[in-house]
Amino acid sequence: MEAPGPVAGGTPGTSRSRSDGDILALLIESVTDYAIFVLDVDGCVLTWNPGARRLKGYPPEEIIGRHLSTFYTEEDRAAGLPQWGLRRALEDGRWEHEGWRVRRDGTRFWANVVITTLRDADGRHRGFAKVTRDLTERKGNEDAVREALEREREASARLREMDQMKSDFVTVVAHDLGGPVGVIQNMLHLLETSWSELSDEDKLDYVSRMSSRANALSGLVNDLFDLARIEAGQLQVEVAPVDLAPVLSKVAADASLAQPGRRIVVDAPGPVVAMADERRTWQVLENLLSNALKFSPPDELVELRLEQLGGEVVVSVIDLGLGIPPDQEHVLFTRFGRLDQSASTPGTGMGLFIAKSLVDAQGGRLWVESAPGAGSTFRFTLPAGPTTP
């Protein structure tokens, strides 16, 4: 008797399995848009399809046997990301991640990576399958949209800031300009209507008071102009070697004339030369000294100190006034910033903002050291200049 022939179509699961395996291999070899390859249990490359070569740049003979960390950035390798991904894939069966990867030539691309654990029929771990897709173009588009949205948010914030500045500006003009103008108008009216009845002493008093208000108006207008220049990015300084010792002495002398009886001490062993704009530095000193006198008891000492520390000249304005609460220090150098305790004291809140901007423009720094009840020390630095101005 003849032995039975093969059943049509072959033994189930034999020739068909070989055919399915061939088709699967053909599919993997034909895919060029994805890097599809197999790793051993330690994460080293076992297979390499044309898509992997196109995407990552390595020919098979250069990459097979190397660890998958080859494709990661130095930062990710240092952080242990490749090993982390393998552990997660082994524990969860699958790990997906997006991030920067590195080609053979060192260039980067944004990749979506899926690592899947491979197990045999008995459940033994045999390796990993890894699929990588290049999403650099999508990443670029997303970043462009994100940057556009960020620019739009910044522009909106800037518009809101400008609206607030306009509102604050109108408030300052209405209050701080309107008050002195009203005083001058009233005094002029009194002089005009009562000239013959006023004594010479009264007339001089009125003129002196109007002059004081006019000077205050002039200072306020100059502050507003400076503020506008700062906001427009048009603030200009002319830096040259300047001996600051006589500058401190003159600023103190002017303040003593304006407020007779105030105790102002200058500690400025000269010459101490800085690279500075003398006019703008004078303006900063006037502002800091005026604030120190304004917020100090009339009988307390205010000190101006000058010293050179390395490559910097440091100017300090020291008072023994009320001091500044730590939670309010951030308000000091903001535009129109006023402390709660100074609400009843005349001022616009522009002075320290302008002073800091002037110091910054000269390459220096301005800050405050203070404690409630212990006074305040405002310091600013300027680059040191040559030994003689």
| CA 177 – CA 220 distance, rounded (Å) | 8
Question: Over 50: is that where the pLDDT of 14 sits?
Answer: no
d(CA 137, CA 99) in angstroms, rounded, equals 13
Whether a cis peptide bond, with omega within 30° of 0, leads into 271 is yes
Distances (CA, A) of 188 to 1, 192, 194, 196, 210: 141, 6, 10, 14, 8
User: What pLDDT score does 386 carry?
Assistant: 87
Kindly provide the b/e burial profile for residues 273-309, where b requires at least 16 CB atoms within 10 angstroms of the residue's own CB.
bbbbbbebbbbbbbbbbbbbbebbeeeeebbbbbebe
User: What values do phi and psi take at 33, rounded to 5?
Assistant: -90, -10
State pTM to two decimals: 0.50
For residue 93, what pLDDT band results from cuts at 50, 70 and 90? very high
Place of tokens 């399915």: 20
In the structure, what pLDDT confidence band is assigned to residue 246 with cuts at 50, 70 and 90? very high
| 3 has pLDDT over 50 | no
Name which of 110-124, 310-324, 333-347, 374-388 the model is least confident about: 333-347
**pLDDT 10s digits, 262-301:** 899 999 887 899 999 998 899 899 889 988 988 888 888 9
Give the model's confidence band at 85: pLDDT under 50 very low, under 70 low, under 90 confident, else very high. Answer: very high
Residue for token pair 């088709």: 23
- Lowest mean pLDDT across 73-82, 318-327, 345-354: 345-354
Q: CA 72, CA 168: separation in Å to the nearest integer?
A: 53
Report the alpha-carbon distance of residue 42 to residue 232 in Å, rounded: 61
Mean pLDDT of 5-26: 51
Closest by CA to 333, choosing from 374, 294, 380, is 380
In the predicted structure, residue 214 carries a pLDDT above the cut 50: yes
Residue of 314, 340, 305 whose CA lies nearest to 325 = 340
Relative orientation angle of helices 278-294 and 351-361, to the nearest 10 degrees: 150
Burial class of residue 97 in the structure, from the number of CB atoms within 10 Å of its CB (0-12 exposed, 13-18 middle, 19+ buried): middle
Extract the tokens encoding 298: 């009339």
Distance CA 184, CA 161 (A): 34
The 3-state DSSP class for residue 120 equals: coil
What number is the average pLDDT over the span 338-342?
Answer: 55
The whole-angstrom separation of Cα 389 and Cα 387 is: 7
Average pLDDT across the chain, whole number: 83
Cα atoms in the 13 Å half-sphere on the side-chain side of 236: 2
In the chain, the domains with their CATH numbers are 15-134 (3.30.450.20), 141-231 (1.10.287.130), 240-383 (3.30.565.10)
Query: pLDDT tens digits, residue range 134-168?
Result: 999 888 888 888 888 888 888 787 777 666 666 66
